[in-house]
Amino acid sequence: MRPDLKNLAYRATDVLGNTLLMPPRGSRRYFVHHGPRDTKRVALTFDDGPCRGSTELLLDALCELDVRATFFCVGVNSRLNPDLVRRIDAEGHDVGNHSHAHRRFGGLSLRDTEHITLGETEIVDALGKIPTLYRPPWGWLTPWEGRRLSKLGYTSIGWDVYTIDWKLPEPDPERVADDAYRDARPGSIFAFHDAFPLLADWQKTVTTEAIRQLVPRLRRDGYEFVTVSELLAIPAYRDAVSSHS
């Protein structure tokens, strides 16, 4: 295929994927976008890490704010920084699987599972337990990806509050916090990004600064911050030894 046609096909697939496969669409049967709407409990989630620098900065802030959250970790990043994966878990946060290499097109394959299982392996190597929460890269979830994730023991986690903290150059953290606060509802799952996929180190401050602004505002409104597993009342992990016995 000519390079210009290949680029056009890629862009068309990208637009269609973002339109049809991301929350709140995607595979509705398998995606969970929020928790119960009758209680003021919400879950902060962070994708794409962990990275030295940015993830460490965020973890320090969450500790100071006394907030537990959920980190969807990329397999490559988990291999590069296993001590950070262990720190996330040790400080009371959930660790979820965010695929091995953060490629959106893995979920389009009718048969491939390596993007899921290789990411899982890196997390198991760091923690000794298998995550039960999975977030597809960019939130792309096809029906067949949803089915195979379910067969592998995963709950596919979307969001109902999405932020642009991933953009470069970094956006204004006050705007990120304001937008997230405006969209918050009881049971909301917030999608933030603590790091950059496939890199060991990343210097980023917008997410941490936005969280420092958002948390006190929502707390004043009576919101409690919990992990995704707590919000949905499901386990965050399966035991690696019993799962493979």
Q: Which two tokens stand for residue 68?
A: 């537990």
Whether residue 83 lies in the annotated active site = no
98 is catalytic: no
Contact 23, 158 (CB under 8 A): yes
Helix or strand (DSSP H, E) at 133: strand 133-134
In angstroms, the Cα distances linking 138 to 78, 91, 158, 183, 217 are: 18, 26, 10, 19, 27
- Of these residues, 48, 94, 193, 194, which one is catalytic? 193
Token pair recorded at residue 178: 């304001």
Structure tokens belonging to residue 5:
């046609």
Q: Which residues contact 195 (CB under 8 A, 6 or more apart)?
A: 46, 48, 49, 50, 51, 54, 55, 77, 202, 204
Task: State the Cα–Cα distance between residues 82 and 50, nearest whole angstrom.
Answer: 9
Q: How far does Cα 41 stand from its chain's mean position?
A: 18
Q: Which residues pair with 189 in a beta bridge?
A: 43
Among candidate residues 47, 48, 89, 179, the one labeled active-site is 47
Just list the catalytic residues.
Answer: 47, 193
